[in-house]
Amino acid sequence: MIYQEFWPTPALRPYVLKYGILEAHLSEKKKTTQLLPPFLSKAFIIRYLGEDEILCKLGPYEGPLSNGYFLAHAESSGFWTYENSFGFFAIIFQPGKFRDVFDFPMIDYLNWGVNIEDVKDAHTLDLFYAIRAAQSSQARIKAADKHLVKILSKRRLRTGRDLIDESIRQLFTHTDLNIRAIGKDLPVSERHLRRLFVEQVGISPKNYQKQIRFIKALNILQSGRFRNLSSVAQMCGYYDQSQFIGQFRFFMGVTPKQFLQQQFQIAESVYWRKELQEKIMKMGDV
């Protein structure tokens, strides 16, 4: 399995975090099930290689993957089951910027998303078909840049965007803050700010912040830059190691140690997970 990341054109970087390309080239059919970590960022994912059915279990959804879909927040882990080669191109958006490009009510699609079959917008469909038709990674990146710039030029910014952007920035920067503290410095009531946040982001500020902590912890575990689980809990703003393990199990379905011990190819590729066997052996039975 191969995973690569690419920068968008500079004009898109305030909106697009990165492009991701995930490919699996199988010499023969073999049924494989892979764990998918929870996904904090919103993304537009387009399949350009392979036509065999890929089954997905994520939140309330269980069925075949569409050739194109908008992935909303995923609050827990899911699974892909596939038997043949595939290739996916992902447009991964900066926190809070998805709605500046695509005007979908993502609160209605928590833990799943919007299939391309349900999209009626001509510019979005043009983007989808251009990436599907491209014959190389560079051609897909060029097509994504071109069509996203075109889409942005035609979108109207939504009311409350700046307030939510500032809230998201604060939550990312200060994991010890909550929406009440953030709202004191904004010209809006806490109640109105919470409503705007849920409407435009798709989940509550509290649950969003839980996922921020989890993703930070996941990245630290995969980097190997930690002494033990207590140090990871402290770095990520958990009360203690017990809370960290409980939250990790909630999102991933396994404990931190079990995650590090097992082979999850997609998680390993997309999250750049390193093998940490020596460190695992020193972690005891946690």
Q: Would the pLDDT of 42 be above 90? A: no
Q: Would the pLDDT of 177 be above 80? A: no
Provide the pLDDT for residue 281.
40
Provide the pLDDT for residue 266.
63
Write the CB contacts of 186 (distance below 8 Å, at least 6 apart in sequence): 163, 166, 167, 193
Residue 246: pLDDT band (50, 70, 90) is very high
- Residue range 44-53, pLDDT digits in tens: 999 999 888 8
Provide the pLDDT for residue 119.
84
Provide the pLDDT for residue 135.
94
Mean pLDDT of 56-75: 82
Provide the pLDDT for residue 273.
42
Please give the residue that has the higher pLDDT: either 161 or 141: 141
Provide the pLDDT for residue 271.
52
Provide the pLDDT for residue 140.
96
**In Å, how far are 140, 169, 173 from 39, measured between CA atoms?**
23, 18, 19
Residue 283: pLDDT band (50, 70, 90) is very low
pTM of the predicted structure, to 2 decimals = 0.64
Mean pLDDT of the chain: 80
Provide the pLDDT for residue 160.
61
Cα(4)–Cα(20) distance, integer angstroms: 6
Provide the pLDDT for residue 284.
43
